[in-house]
Amino acid sequence: MRMFIAINFDETVKEQIIQVQDRLRKHSLKGNFTHHENIHLTLVFLGELPESKIDTIKRIISSIEFEPFQIKFSHTGSFDRDDGKLFYLELEQCDQLLSIQKKLTAMLLESKFIIENRKFFPHLTLSRKTIIKSVFKEQNLDIKSG
C-alpha cells in the first residue's frame, strides 16, 4: 500500500486552490491536474508499505502535540520535467509546520521507516505533465488555512 502523511484542507480552501488551477488550465495546452479530492500537502512520503505498519504510523502521528496554526500559500511555481512541467503552490515560511514535519521524520526514522533523504519543500501540487501555451505565474495569493 502506498502511504504518506499529509495535511488535508477544508472545502473553502480547496475551492480557492481549484480557482488557481482553473487559471492555470487556461494557460495550458494539456496537463494532469490534481483532482479536488486529492488536494493535500504531503509532510512525509513513506512509499509502499504493508498494512501492518498503519498502527505504528497512527501512534507516531497521535503522539505529536502542537497548537493550531495557519498555512498561507504565497505563489505558484514549477519544476521542469521530461514530460512537461509540475506546477505547485508554495507556502510562506511556517515554523510550526516545519517543526511538525521534522518531528514526524525523526520519529519515523527511530521506528525504522525508510524515508527519502532530501530537504523538505512544503508545496501543494496543482498539476503534472503540464504543457504551457502562455506564461503562468501567480504571486501574492491570499489562500489561508487553519
- Number of Cβ within 10 Å of residue 79's Cβ equals 12
Active site residues: 40, 123
Distance of alpha carbon 130 from alpha carbon 120, whole angstroms: 23
pLDDT of residue 146: 65
For the chain, the domain total comes to 1
CATH of residue 60's domain is 3.90.1140.10
Q: What predicted TM-score, i.e. pTM, was given to this entire model?
A: 0.87
What pLDDT digit, counting tens, does each position of 82-127 carry?
999 999 999 999 999 999 999 999 999 999 999 988 899 999 999 9
Q: Which residues of 84-118 are buried (b: 16+ CB within 10 A; e: fewer)?
A: bbbbbbebeebeebeebbebbbebbeeeebeeeee
The DSSP string of 70-91 is -EEEEEEEEEEETTEEEEEEEE
Range of the domain at 135: 2-145
Distance of alpha carbon 74 from alpha carbon 63, whole angstroms: 30
Q: Are strands 123-132 and 84-91 parallel, antiparallel or unpaired?
A: antiparallel
What pLDDT digit, counting tens, does each position of 50-73 carry?
999 999 999 999 999 999 999 999
Query: What Rg do the C-alpha atoms of the chain give, in angstroms?
Result: 16
In this predicted structure, the answer to whether residue 20 has a pLDDT above a threshold of 70 is yes
